[in-house]
Chains A and B, each alone.
Chain A
Amino acid sequence: GDSVTQMEGPVTLSEEAFLTINCTYTATGYPSLFWYVQYPGEGLQLLLKATKADDKGSNKGFEATYRKETTSFHLEKGSVQVSDSAVYFCALRLEYGNKLVFGAGTILRVKS
């Protein structure tokens, strides 16, 4: 079945460090891919998305590239801030419908 696997956390970084959170997927067809972020006590916020192979999604310094050959959508940021501390979810949406399939989530902690 369709699934998303992302690296386990927590990931603990110092401020201004480089961030990578790995995400791979299994899906039939051509899914759209997403990164969502969840702050404590909140719902999910869309961080970035990519709808086809080789698309790069970017927002607030975060980037991810849809790699169909490796079925991956890794999240990167060049310099993290304490305010980036949150839980990050990788997700896919199949071609028809609005159902999202989520990875387990990765806790990011950034220390000052």
Chain B
Amino acid sequence: KAGVTQTPRYLIKTRGQQVTLSCSPISGHRSVSWYQQTPGQGLQFLFEYFSETQRNKGNFPGRFSGRQFSNSRSEMNVSTLELGDSALYLCASSYQVNTEAFFGQGTRLTVV
């Protein structure tokens, strides 16, 4: 059974640009959540999607957005990148609500 796949694994962007990260959940899983991991702030929740609907959102500016497609794949977008957006972005998939979360290996975003 394939795990959670995040692409790309590494990304370097310039301040002011925008970026799109992709997450393919485990087959059959309908919930996808996104987290930002930085040395200073630790692991912070970005948003959660279930069956294409955003169910929950963390305390991030509107530059951070996401969506989920009918095949449960999810993308997150960050516009007008800032240096502080440099982080490891982790995606987690769950079968449904209140079930175990399985994490991908993450996308390492560096903003220069």
A residues with a Cβ closer than 8 A to B are: 32, 36, 41-46, 49, 89, 93, 95-105
Q: Which residue of A lies closest to B96 (CB)?
A: A98
B55 to chain A, nearest CB (A): 6
Cross-interface CB contact of B97 among A49, A96, A102, cutoff 8 Å: A96
CA distance A36 to B37 in the complex (A): 14
Q: Are A46 and B101 in contact, with the CB atoms below 8 A?
A: yes
In the complex, given contacts A36-B103, A98-B31, A99-B45, what are 17 additional A-B residue pairs having Cβ atoms less than 8 angstroms apart? A42-B106, A43-B105, A44-B92, A44-B103, A49-B100, A93-B98, A97-B98, A98-B33, A98-B48, A98-B56, A98-B94, A98-B99, A99-B56, A99-B58, A100-B101, A101-B45, A104-B42
CA distance A45 to B4 in the complex (A): 12
B residues with a Cβ closer than 8 A to A are: 4, 31, 33, 35, 42-43, 45, 48, 50, 55-56, 58, 90, 92, 94, 97-106
A82 to chain B, nearest CB (A): 23
B5 to chain A, nearest CB (A): 11
A70 to chain B, nearest CB (A): 23
